[in-house]
Structure 1
């Protein structure tokens, strides 16, 4: 454009010499001046339009690069509109969960993810307040039905004028960490040999069970002791003894009711907690099944071993209203069963209570 203007000025000089008079030159000058202004204006508009196009291309390129960066750097990312509908999604794991993105686009964000009640409430609270949220744990299923734990974080999206127009979020695969935590928790709460609850878990859970018991809903403790485990363990070795304990645990799982649970307290001491017991007879029926199941021979490495069990039964709040008192009652009933010839159960009887006839 500068060259065009210079050319116009040169043309102006030639015109001056051609006309040879100021009057004629003045008229020509006005024409050329208008032409120069017009050309300069057109040139300026051209430059502005070209710059706008470059800016738009740069913005599109930046958005494309950001999208590719999100695909590379995150396991999941998404954008939603103000109503919560997904308008964009991607990430390394996108195809793992949603091979066809059309199954996600346009859907409400909350219908795509799976959250438990507590995590869902945390997210809803943030959305209602239009605030960022982070570390919301969700569960996704892959196309081959594998479970993934994804930590979700998001922040509001804003327009150029500062208005909220939706959310921009990312998801991080934390499956290994969650599964490792689950394994550690399981190890801390369960007996390593049998897989039953351990003493630590028993002590924590029984406190809650006894506290929740009432007149119409008893909880029973069935204290179990193997009658001749020490003899088997000493004769055939610890490996055979451990195998026997493992088989005992398996039989206990089979005979207890669905809402009951079993624990190994150590050595050959087991306990079953029977919940929702309407009366002592319900607990005694469970005890009878345990005695019967554990009296059958065990086959271990070509050996056929017999190790019966004695069981002591006590109920809360019928016999005691505290955990320690209930355990003491169950132990007293267990000692009575052992003193009665073993391979049997006994229901706790207070000294001032008449015999129940359930033993």
Structure 2
């Protein structure tokens, strides 16, 4: 019931309550409570609905995730099955001797395009293949409709026609992609290849049912039709599907096996034979198919590489036009410049518009102001012949500056084959041309003296021999400087270089402008005289050259004087080639230097015989090392104070099985020259240490070191190895080194001597005064003994100068705390005189000749008595 003061509320608006009484307030409170309860219930309902929707969404997501996982598992399983089938097919095919193309090395982007190309090649033949299938289906149905296989024919025809129509539809959909016969732009996945294999297998299965079902009950004519049909289907299908070899092989093998089964099941000998022949034919067809597939894939790979190269060429051309230092040129069929580039205009120093339609020769000819025109005429001839050319260098002068341009070009023809001009590239090769000229100069001439070097001199000698052999056989003089090394070492390389330049100038002035002077090596020169010369003329020229070189030089305020030796070779001596002539001159020079400074020799039979003798001796020395023909003899070293045995010097001996005993003076120089002395010297050290180990402990061993041994990097290891193997005490070993060996010493050799001395090995300076005597050796090397050469000892009593040298050497050794040994003592008077001068030790024939190792025990038994008796007899 409504109060009188209240008015009905307007629809859609809230009622307004005015002045309620307490009873009305209770009613209002109850209504508010009910409203709150209703609101609370509504909120709960909303929360429950939201929760239900969330649970439903989660359930849906879970179902979707599970479905995706299930799909992924199915796909993985399908892939595994496909890979297994593929592996099985590969194994089966490989077992038959058919090898499929290997595409595993092809990267995936390219592999996808290759797969697309394989499928596209099949799709292009699909219309013909499917129409042939439809015609064959109709023919089979027409021939066998009257048989008892109508149900089979209906079902088989329906399936085959459906598959053929599906193939035609696929071809129709992909027609736009089949226009390009090259590498497709789109890729295909491996699934498409698998689908192609499956489709081929299904089609082969359908056609395999024909011989299996119809052949056995067919008439002879129908059998022949089935045989021809299956053979044709096999051949055509294999060729059409050959781009996908697995599809082709699957199709071929299934048809072949079905046909062979039908033939063999007939149990007729002829048909069985035909079945076997069919299998062999199938194998040949499979080999052909895989070969064709391999060729197809290789062609696609080549096309891909060609596309990549074309893209790269295009990129390079764009980069070339934008930033290269070269320039493009183009002429029309009349030889006029077209499309003149800004770079070409800049190179010619003219505006591009002014060069447009200018003739090719007009552009280059006015600038060909130096060195002729280079290959400009050749370029014009090639253009006239429409022949391509490259790297043709033309000489140009632009702005008064000489230069060289390299031109490349090829003719341009339009689509009708008409000649339209030339296009090419030009480049400025001035810097490279000048660099090539400098390199050629350096390769042919000596950089210091400007004379021809050995290589260029050989070319000149060859030309001279070829040109003058008939009229005046040329002669050759090889010259080697004497004492140049000592000047170079003592005065410095600057003085040495200046000296070589002066010598080159003197040689050139002496022999004349028509002769050829060359520098062959560091201090070796060659002269090739010109004109008809007799041997006497060449000899006189050699004397003149030696005399001119030997005159003093004023270098940096100092007077320098050296000498020269020469070797002469004539073509009449049997030398007919540059190598022989230079070799003969070198041999003559070697002989001259061995005979002293300032000498010359002409190559002749005597020198040739000596060379042959050394060559034979070298071969004999090599054989002697292998045959153990060497032995050691020992000469005693006696104390001059008490006549006691101090030790022995090991001396090398060689007994040739045919020639007998050969003097060390003959074979040791040959061993040094041939490089065999290191091996022989190592044998001497090992053998001497091994034999000396059994001597009395007070007896020492002296071993000579040759110059090559002294500089051998393995010398220290050889000596330490010999001492360790033999057990000989290092304090009992003494190494004798000549002054010649010290000429080219190094820090390493000094370190070797110091190391040997540190372990007790003694070092002796042998043949003192006979070589390049220098007191600096005694200061710079750790010597324990000086050995006086026998040439001074032998004449010491008769010649005062020799006596003075021996006295000075003995006194020098005593002053430096070194022992002294006199070699070659043969008389008692010499022995007494040496003892009176204070010489510590002597050796020579007076006491004993060198003895073999087996004679030494007797000397040890007699001991001091033997040598004391000798001393008393001569006293």
Aligned position for 1:3: none
CA contact (8 A) 1:209 1:219 kept: yes
CA contact (8 A) 1:76 1:94 kept: no
What CA distance in whole angstroms lies between the structure 2 residues aligned with 1:167 and 1:317? 59
Match among 519, 536, 560 for residue 305 of structure 1:
560
Aligned position for 1:94: 348
- How many corresponding residue pairs? 278
Aligned position for 1:132: 388
Q: Per-residue deviation at 1:173?
A: 0.8
Q: Per-residue deviation at 1:326?
A: 1.8
Q: Is 1:144 matched with 2:412?
A: no
**Structure with greater strand percent:** 1
Aligned position for 1:262: 517
Distance 1:78 1:309, change over 3 A: same
Aligned position for 1:316: 571
SS in 1 for 2:585: helix
Larger deviation, residues 105-114 vs 183-192: 105-114
Distance 1:168 1:263, change over 3 A: same
Q: Is 1:180 matched with 2:441?
A: no
Match among 492, 504, 507 for residue 237 of structure 1:
492
CA contact (8 A) 1:85 1:105 kept: yes
1:203-242 paired onto structure 2 within 5 Å:
203=458, 206-207=461-462, 209-210=464-465, 213-242=468-497
Match among 259, 274, 294 for residue 549 of structure 2:
294
What CA distance in whole angstroms lies between the structure 1 residues aligned with 2:365 and 2:540? 47
Distance 1:210 1:174, change over 3 A: same
What CA distance in whole angstroms lies between the structure 1 residues aligned with 2:456 and 2:385? 40
What CA distance in whole angstroms lies between the structure 2 residues aligned with 1:253 and 1:85? 54
**Structure with greater helix percent:** 2
CA contact (8 A) 2:345 2:355 kept: no
Distance 1:115 1:77, change over 3 A: farther
What CA distance in whole angstroms lies between the structure 2 residues aligned with 1:191 and 1:321? 26
SS in 1 for 2:474: strand
Distance 1:77 1:324, change over 3 A: closer
What CA distance in whole angstroms lies between the structure 1 residues aligned with 2:471 and 2:519? 28
CA contact (8 A) 1:75 1:173 kept: yes
Aligned position for 2:452: 197
What CA distance in whole angstroms lies between the structure 2 residues aligned with 1:286 and 1:110? 53
Deviations 1:7-27 (A, max 9, x none): xxxxxxxxxxxxxxxxxxxxx
Deviations 1:263-308 (A, max 9, x none): 323231111234x532336655754653454233322211121223
What CA distance in whole angstroms lies between the structure 2 residues aligned with 1:334 and 1:309? 10
Distance 1:235 1:107, change over 3 A: closer
Q: Is 1:278 matched with 2:529?
A: no
Distance 1:106 1:259, change over 3 A: same
Distance 1:158 1:86, change over 3 A: same
Structure exhibiting the larger radius of gyration computed from Cα positions: 2
Distance 1:108 1:317, change over 3 A: farther
Q: Per-residue deviation at 1:222?
A: 1.4
What CA distance in whole angstroms lies between the structure 2 residues aligned with 1:93 and 1:205? 40
Deviations 1:188-216 (A, max 9, x none): 44444434333344455545544555221
What CA distance in whole angstroms lies between the structure 1 residues aligned with 2:525 and 2:490? 22
CA contact (8 A) 2:404 2:433 kept: yes
SS in 2 for 1:248: helix
Deviations 1:101-147 (A, max 9, x none): 79x858467855588899568646633431322211222234334x3
CA contact (8 A) 2:365 2:373 kept: no
What CA distance in whole angstroms lies between the structure 1 residues aligned with 2:496 and 2:333? 65
What CA distance in whole angstroms lies between the structure 2 residues aligned with 1:315 and 1:71? 64
Distance 1:308 1:108, change over 3 A: same
Distance 1:118 1:301, change over 3 A: same
Deviations 1:134-163 (A, max 9, x none): 211222234334x32211112335579763
Gaps of 5+ in 1: 1-68, 353-359
CA contact (8 A) 1:220 1:315 kept: yes
Match among 319, 327, 346 for residue 582 of structure 2:
327
Distance 1:344 1:77, change over 3 A: farther
Match among 402, 409, 412 for residue 154 of structure 1:
409
Gaps of 5+ in 2: 1-319, 608-875
Larger RCO (CA within 8 A; separation ≥ 6): 1
What CA distance in whole angstroms lies between the structure 2 residues aligned with 1:350 and 1:253? 31
Distance 1:313 1:153, change over 3 A: same
Larger deviation, residues 111-120 vs 252-261: 111-120
Provide TM-score, normalisation by structure 1: 0.59
SS in 2 for 1:92: helix
Aligned position for 1:9: none
What CA distance in whole angstroms lies between the structure 2 residues aligned with 1:317 and 1:128? 53
What CA distance in whole angstroms lies between the structure 2 residues aligned with 1:250 and 1:84? 54
Aligned position for 1:14: none
Larger deviation, residues 205-214 vs 261-270: 205-214
Distance 1:101 1:314, change over 3 A: farther
Aligned position for 1:47: none
Distance 1:308 1:127, change over 3 A: same
What CA distance in whole angstroms lies between the structure 2 residues aligned with 1:251 and 1:285? 16
